[in-house]
Amino acid sequence: MKKVLVTGAGTGFGHEVAMRLAGKGFDVIAAVEIWAQVQTLKWQAAQRGVQLQVEKLDVTDEGDRRKALSWDVEILVNNAGVGEGGSTVDIPAGNIRHQFEVNLFGPLLLTQGIAKQMVKRGEGRIVWVSSREGLNVNPFTGLYSASKHAIEAIAESMADELREFGIEVATVNPGPFLTGFNDRMFQTWKGWEDEASERLFDYSRLAFPRAQFDPEPVYNTLTAVAAGEVDSYRNLEPASMIEETKSLIEAPWQRQVRDGLGTRPANLQASFDMEPETPVSV
């Protein structure tokens, strides 16, 4: 399998992984959301000395998804996504819908068509770029986390459903990495069409609540999973957060509904205390 479609390749993880897969000799279709990104990515690929087929593919656009069915994709990297920051009781309806349209509905509908083509060929690989937030939750990232929890359910079901047809399915679960994505998530409130006086929180005072890692481990892992060099179904980076992630999955079984009522949790307070774009200190 050599032909790879990477969605959301205009920035972040998708951008770098498309470049690296091309450098490995894969036939990479690098999909970007808007036309303005197409020529820019072509120039960037030329500067890196790699060949990319750059296509405009908005995963929420039915016409774009239909067009992708003509590309004979053998490996699909579902990387396109957006992050909506804010309290679950403040985020406006339109922003909630957009979060799920981009992160869940669009990628799933794209995958349905491509997966059936893979079944006809008798092989294929589907990589879902989920998140550590697909396994845990944090204040102010609940809607983003909900979309990634949904991806986890779909990917796990899909892995079972497609196994007999020879289709591989895997997830990659990045933690907090300093690509700009997490910090942009805490700026989306500026575009909300709501009554600001009714919000529970002053979002001008909040930031992404954790220090962030250098993204190199995700670039390496996502590239290797897409290339078929890693066999594990779930691939969480950084590896140093695996045990914390597992413990937080178990934590709700011990939680009591009246624990800490009337006080602010420490993980919520962290959003008030953290400065944007704070790197993990080595």
What whole-number distance in Å separates Cα of residue 256 and Cα of residue 263? 14
Residue 144 is among the residues annotated as catalytic for this protein: yes
Characterize 33-43 residue by residue with b for buried, 16 or more Cβ atoms within 10 angstroms of its Cβ, and e for exposed.
beeebbeebee
Contacts 24+ apart (CB under 8 A), 22-29: 22/50, 22/51, 22/52, 23/48, 23/50, 24/223, 24/227, 26/2, 26/75, 26/227, 27/2, 27/3, 27/53, 28/4, 28/52, 28/53, 29/3, 29/4, 29/5, 29/53, 29/54, 29/55, 29/71, 29/73
Phi/psi for 61 (5° steps) reads -100, 120
Active-site choice (144, 203, 219, 233) = 144
- The interaxial angle of helices 142-162 and 93-100, nearest 10 deg, is 30
Q: How many other C-beta atoms can be found within 10 angstroms of the C-beta atom of residue 139?
A: 18
The 3-state DSSP class for residue 184 equals: helix
User: Per DSSP, which regions of the chain are E strands?
Assistant: 3-6, 27-32, 53-56, 75-78, 124-129, 167-174, 234-237
Catalytic machinery residues = 144
